[in-house]
Amino acid sequence: MVDFTLSDEQQSMREMAHEFARKEIRPVAWDYDRDGTWPREILDKAWELGLMNVHLPERFGGPGLSYLDGCLIEEEIAWGCSGIGTSLACNGLATAPIALAASESLQREYLGRLTEAPLLASFCLTEPDAGSDVAAMKTTAVRRGDRWVINGSKCFITNGVYADWYTVYAKTDREAGHRGISCFIVPRDAGVVVDKHEDKMGQRASNTAAISLHDVEIPLDHLVGEENAGFKIAMAALDRTRPGVAAMGVGVARAAMEMAIDYARQRVQFGVPIAMHEAIQFIIADMATKVHLARLATHNAAVLLDQGRRNTLESSHAKRFAADTAMEVTTDAVQVYGGYGFIKDYKVEKLMRDAKILQLYEGTAQIQRLVIAREMLLADRGEVREPATA
Ligand code: COS
């Protein structure tokens, strides 16, 4: 059965997230953007309200919300500010591999920590020479006695400066390509070095760092899942988090569309509000359709996860379409503002800068297309692929 009605609980959760975005995030979002400062106070409040770590199971103190619930929250938070949204959502990416594959005792210790205090964790996959090509990573983990010894550098690490622990991928078999990668939990105090805080174009309230590990020793039991199974753990984790990124794209696009509509109603040219001109109406109509479809694709990808079904294709559909939508709608919103859209006082330009990263992180727009093409061309070779529906 296809039913797009939200339950009463989901509606109140969405309203709560929206109120938080409206009262706590929007009023300060442009200050954080200008200064590139860290929204610690907002994160602490969000943690208190249960807007972080939303998928962590109840047995570890989390709220155990569904993926669809998470998307409802992430859309609202990103409507307030996607930079702050990324800061809030990052624990979800770091913990997804742990929830998927780690031992019960690792889960209890490290997932539990995040529900006991407003701590952060980071997902460390990308390296200077291994972005889209994950299998090309150079970080190594070598077994020495009762320890793993890890060496390497990771870049573009969200919350990297502040994380309490890191989900780190490293080569445990250098000759085996993607089959030689393993996943580990590395506590910050094991010796993780923060090399650089990045100064970014957009989402400036999120923290992005380059980190390195020099002979960092961790216990043998800090291996997540099987040795050499890290690549698939990473891919499966991204299947679970990409709908959340898509939801953020919907939130950013919706915010830009609302601003464009408000502006079009009050800006007068040729004797009437520009909203009366068909040229502007068509732009608004396209924005509305894209936001609507991006949300449907996002919810579809999330609901499949909630049903325990594989969503690789739908996750990439949602992430690619919502991120592209955010970029297109924010760019068009600046266009509706005309020259004023290019001026920082008018605020809409921040959304255009923020949207760009959505097409880059958690798999670029091109990687999503590559996944979609492979799923369509290879996954069900010779078979008619039944469309997965919510
Ligand atoms: N779930 C489970 N397993 C998966 C999977 C998924 N979603 N996607 C791929 N796999 C498996 C494949 O089935 C294959 O298994 P076998 O070894 O048994 O054959 C293995 O993983 C390798 O898959 P593939 O051949 O497709 O790997 P590639 O090296 O060609 O890489 C892409 C595939 C490009 C899709 C992958 O590297 C990727 O997603 N890159 C982007 C990374 C990213 O998002 N970075 C952002 C970091 S977070 S900001």
For the domain made up of 121-228, give the CATH fold.
Butyryl-CoA Dehydrogenase, subunit A; domain 2 (2.40.110)
Q: What is the pLDDT of residue 379?
A: 66
Identify which of 235, 312, 378 to mutate to test ligand 1's pocket (most ligand atoms within 8 A of the CB): 235
**Three-class SS of residue 176?**
coil
Query: Ligand 1 centroid vs 242 CA: distance in angstroms?
Result: 14
Ligand 1 atom with the shortest distance to the CA of 126: 47
Cα of 381 vs its chain's centroid, Å: 31
CA–centroid distance, 181 to ligand 1, in Å, is 12
Q: What is the pLDDT of residues 182-200, one digit of tens each?
A: 999 999 999 999 999 999 9
**Comparing C-alpha atoms, which of 297, 290, 296 is closest to residue 252?**
290
- 170 — phi, psi (to 5°)? -150, 155
CATH topology (fold) of 8-116:
Butyryl-Coa Dehydrogenase, subunit A; domain 1 (1.10.540)
For ligand 1, is residue 169 a contact (CB within 6 Å)? no
Catalytic positions, written as ranges: 362
Is the pLDDT at 382 greater than 60, yes or no?
Answer: no
Contact by Cβ (8 Å): 11, 183: no
For ligand 1, the distance from its centroid to the CA atom of residue 169, given in whole angstroms, is 14
> How many C-alpha atoms does 24 have within 13 Å on its Cβ side?
22
Q: Are 76 and 251 in contact, with CB atoms under 8 Å apart?
A: yes
pLDDT tens sequence across 320-368 = 999 999 999 999 999 999 999 999 999 999 999 999 999 999 999 999 9
Report whether pLDDT(122) > 80: yes
All structural domains of the chain with their residue ranges: 8-116, 121-228, 231-380
pLDDT band at 216 (very low <50, low <70, confident <90, very high): very high
Which of the four pLDDT bands, split at 50, 70 and 90, describes residue 146?
A: very high
Predicted model pTM:
0.96
Overall average pLDDT of the 35-51 stretch: 97
Q: For residue 342, what is the enclosing H or E element?
A: none
Asked whether the beta carbons of 307 and 262 are under 8 A apart, the reply is no
Token digits of residue 137: 């990573």
Give the atom of ligand 1 at the shortest distance from the alpha carbon of 156. 49
Considering the domain delimited by 231-380, tell me its CATH architecture: Up-down Bundle (1.20)
C-alpha dihedral (30, 205, 19, 317), degrees to nearest 10: 110
Out of 90, 231, 233, mutate this one to test ligand 1's pocket (max ligand atoms within 8 Å of CB): namely 231
Distance 146 CA to ligand 1 centre (A): 30
**Structural contact between residues 75 and 248, judged by C-beta atoms closer than 8 angstroms:** yes
